[in-house]
Structure 1
């Protein structure tokens, strides 16, 4: 299959590129600068989002698009400027993908567009699935809503459109986990906030596997939750992390301290939601990692 990937050099994109290339797919990585990219078998870099670039000329015959492009929500405090960058980077890249799709004489079959479980808002007692169609409140929910609305425009071209709503992606080098590891390495790991908030986590390999599954499974469309089937409360997540690392779980971090340090971004760890991957399970996706202890053991011992 010929697959175009936007955001192919980020955390998820790099892992997805390696996975799909090993499967023999031909990949076109949309990038702002192709000159400094290391060439790989089955991978071609295509410049976009720069004056004078016409990526559509190199993308005729592409059968699928994957859009992972966007400013990381973990890059610093959520100032007004940073929030603007988070939103605009997602909307502008998705608009450009829709423009490219519209210009192709032969339309791709599918667009898998990244999204987030932030759509659902936060709750201590609710369980969310794709059947919950009312968005939550706050910055993350409004960002996801606008992002998915823009991606949905691809369906006007007859393109099957999937919104992969990622949970907290676990990887040793990037994302949320390295920040969680540090206190335990310093022997001061413990409960964050009340510890009652839910953490809907997912191993990086299941993010990759779920995207590939959505590309191949023609019955999947609309929102698809990409979370492990066994979310945990933060206090239990921390205990498991400490156990796998062989470190104590005892030193609590009060919520007010994180709010002072991180501002509005503190909601990423102080608030949460229990989200289940109902669609993936109903359509037969087999998770690499269902249990947190197995996922953490793999991540921490494999690198």
Structure 2
């Protein structure tokens, strides 16, 4: 296949690119800077004055949209929130324009999304059948992002919204800062510890995206989380167990709020999310349990 990736230089994008190349596919990475490609990887400039990526792409089987300012970088002040929101809207608008200009349209647009669209709750279990939307900045950003990406249907393409949970991987993503206190023998309960953490191994993210490209039954929201979420306290205990470190040093919620501001909600609040659509369509998780995922990431050479 010929696959176009926006946001190909990020944590998930790099893993995806390597996977698709290993599978023998051609990958086009949309980049703000001109770069020289290698092998099956080609870079095409976009979001710059005078750039015409549609001419370089010509045809494509699938588009993957991972573009946008990271929600993990910096404090959620007004300016950073604006950048998070605008970067996603701008990139998606441009992807829709590119697709509209192509003579041969892709069959699918895989659009990044997030489980942060669901309201934080300790006792509610969310599947894709649940239409509740939280009343906060992140949820509104996700909802507007998905709504915009839906417009690709007018070009005859299937739209899939991969609602990512907390993606765990080696050297990047959310896991390293979560593991660091345990390596320093200072790990423990964060906040109440009862908040849910719906996680997924980076390898399963890659496989789920590839699965969504070829599985025509998947469209709309797709919860991209492991089938066994954990409460935050249990998550920390599992890290401690895998690393043979104590789980004893509690971090009060007030401390997290002072340190992270509004972004502390990512740590102090959570959702119990299940990947119903993936499971119903026969997706096989390589790392369904947290212990298996952490042992692979933290103890093996990956």
Please tell me the TM-score bracket, short chain as reference. Answer: over 0.9
After TM superposition, the structure 1 = structure 2 runs for residues 95-106 of structure 1, keeping only pairs within 5 Å, are 95-106=93-104
TM-superposed CA distance for 1:172, in Å, is 2.0
Q: Deviations over 1:123-153 (max 9, x none)?
A: 0100000001121111111010010011111
TM-superposed CA distance for 1:121, in Å, is 1.8
Identify which of 130, 138, 141 aligns with 2:139.
141
> Is the aligned partner of 1:221 residue 2:219?
yes
Structure 2 stretches lacking a partner, 5+ long: none
Q: CA contact under 8 A between 2:119 and 2:132: conserved in structure 1?
A: no
Q: Distance in 1 between matches of 2:18 and 2:45?
A: 19
SS state at 1:44 partner: strand
Q: 1:163-242 alignment to 2 at 5 Å?
A: 163-242=161-240
CA distance in 2, matches of 1:65, 1:242: 39
Shift of 1:175: 1.4
What are the residue-to-residue correspondences of 1:51-70 with 2, within 5 Å?
51-70=49-68
- Residue 237 of structure 1 and its aligned partner are, at CA, apart by 0.3
Match of 2:85 in 1: 87
Q: Give 1:156 shift.
A: 1.1
Instruction: Give the secondary-structure state (helix, strand or coil) at the position aligned to 1:46.
Output: strand
Residue 18 (structure 1) aligns with: 18
Are 2:72 and 1:48 equivalent residues in the alignment? no
Query: What is residue 161 of structure 1 aligned with on the other side?
Result: 159
Work out the CA distance in 2 between the residues paired with 1:180 and 1:96.
35
Partner of 2:27: 27
Q: What is the SS of the residue equivalent to 1:113?
A: strand
Question: C-alpha separation between the residues in 1 aligned to 2:38 and 2:6?
Answer: 16
- In structure 1, the partner of 2:273 is 275
SS of equivalent to 2:68: coil
C-alpha displacement of 1:34: 2.6
The DSSP-based 3-state class of the residue aligned with 1:251 is: coil
Q: Aligned to 1:9, what secondary structure does the other structure show?
A: coil
Return the TM-score normalized by structure 2.
0.98
* Segment of structure 1 superposing worse, 56-65 or 275-284: 56-65
Q: Secondary structure at the match of 2:29?
A: strand
| Structure-2 separation of matches of 1:173 and 1:237 | 18
**C-alpha deviations, 1:79-115, integer Å up to 9, x for none?**
0000000000111000000000111111110000000
Q: Distance in 1 between matches of 2:240 and 2:151?
A: 45
> Deviation per CA, 1:244-280, whole angstroms, max 9, x where unpaired?
1111100000000000010000000100000000000
Aligned-residue RMSD, C-alpha: 0.8
Structure 1 runs, 4 residues or longer, greater than 2 Å off:
none
Please give the per-residue CA displacement for 1:27-65, whole angstroms capped at 9, x wherever unaligned: 100000133x6x332110111000111000011121110
Aligned length: 301
| Separation in 2, partners of 1:231, 1:168 | 10
2:202 & 2:282 partners in 1: Cα distance?
19
- SS where residue 139 of structure 2 aligns? helix
Q: Distance in 1 between matches of 2:154 and 2:164?
A: 24
